[in-house]
Structure 1
């Protein structure tokens, strides 16, 4: 992402027309990604029921405490200067024909999977079409909800709910159980992909596309305070991975943080009167990572470049800090001192 952004900046300096032409060439692709961005981050939310079952109640309370305490602390520390950003093109709304097409795909492939569970070779590949269609339909329906409803029930939540509902229905009728269907939704096996694997396969392209969004906002200059959230917000994913923590706990912490951000980030920022896209983008991505980024940029595409910057730098900084032996040992001592060894 940063390499492509550097290339675009270099072209803009030596040959502005070439930079504009390159950006325009990839415009359809970036608009496609922008339109469907939440779908690429939702698979971990769909399989959340599988992750949280292995987490003790005490660990769940720790996650909630850390999220809440960090948010309050950062709000007291950070002061962001409000600077307007350039407006960006918003993706077109969903047409009724798209809704009917995906509905037809869902019904036909659901029936096929029920009649012939291994029609496409494996249960995961056979379930892929109708689970993918359910995910897409959930996002379309959620996007069409009234604005007041979407403030507390974001399309991402509706999207995950629709996929889980489809998994529950298929598990019930096929007598295989919801857990088995969710396991087929995200297999993490390239030779036997599920609907979640298909969607997450776009994440590489998604990250690269952020470079074009950053380039479009290259003229926006921000006060240094805008970067402060990067040094104080949550680093759950990178820290847990560095410490080889329980994978279920890691997934739940990341997804729950993103879920809270996706569902409430816009309402909270509005209440705090933070209307600047720079502040909104950086604060959202550095605290609620992928899901928060997808939720905010779906309605505020001008915040996407700043989400991308925070998204990347948060992960880099978190990984670097947790790689330092002194920091690593200090964090372990704090955890053991507070909660005892596990």
Structure 2
């Protein structure tokens, strides 16, 4: 019988649900970590595949496997964090590959930067046999966001922190609560921490190989739908707007996303003054400004609903040329 690790410097928390055949490689990559004493908490969320048998046969003293009925990844992650012994929690996914120095590098970073509560890393997207263009653009974008201010200002576009690359202080989880079900749990968690003033960092190193599977939860579960992400964005935008001065809001774009944002803001008591598009007029009974007029509006705040990466880049350039700054004068959603 192996003896449980005492006083680990880092607790790795990984949730598993039917992750075979990639589970073994993920586990072995964590066990190959060096430079720190760590415990490895694996929460088996009711797996029914060969991975369940594999987990029962693991004998490494650093590993603790917690078996439970299927309750979802948010609850499983909270169970893992609750069971951890360390002050630092490293999240990881059951189909990815961890760099052997990841834990040591992030441990040292948090020890040297007491003001930072969460540190992530850059990730490398593993190739799949289907089109990954959108996800490749996302990974390149996320990997460029290294400083806290960059991540904070871009947080409404998408998650600037890729979950299996993140390490955070357990005191934050204890103070501000854990992951929520019925939502994209990692994105909601990071948005909550940003809102509450937690400082983030990101290492300019690729420390995780991120596997993109056609059946992963973010592609198949309602908690990760476009609507679910939009609800999180609306929630935290509304909370942030309460802190800001009264400015007219214009939605940039005439599309389904723009319409949903108007509806969502209206439910939260926030009025939209108009839309922005190529030609002036009205849409859904609301004024539409053309782009030059919008850019000359001195007090407007813009919510950019354009999703095309090239289109967003051009909007950023136009905003900069007209003296407008991300987050202060506009956000991209």
* TM tier relative to shorter chain: under 0.3
Between structures 1 and 2, the one with greater helix share: 1
Between structures 1 and 2, the one with greater strand share: 2
TM-score for the superposition, normalised by structure 2? 0.27
Higher relative contact order (CA 8 A, sep 6+): 1
TM-score for the superposition, normalised by structure 1? 0.27
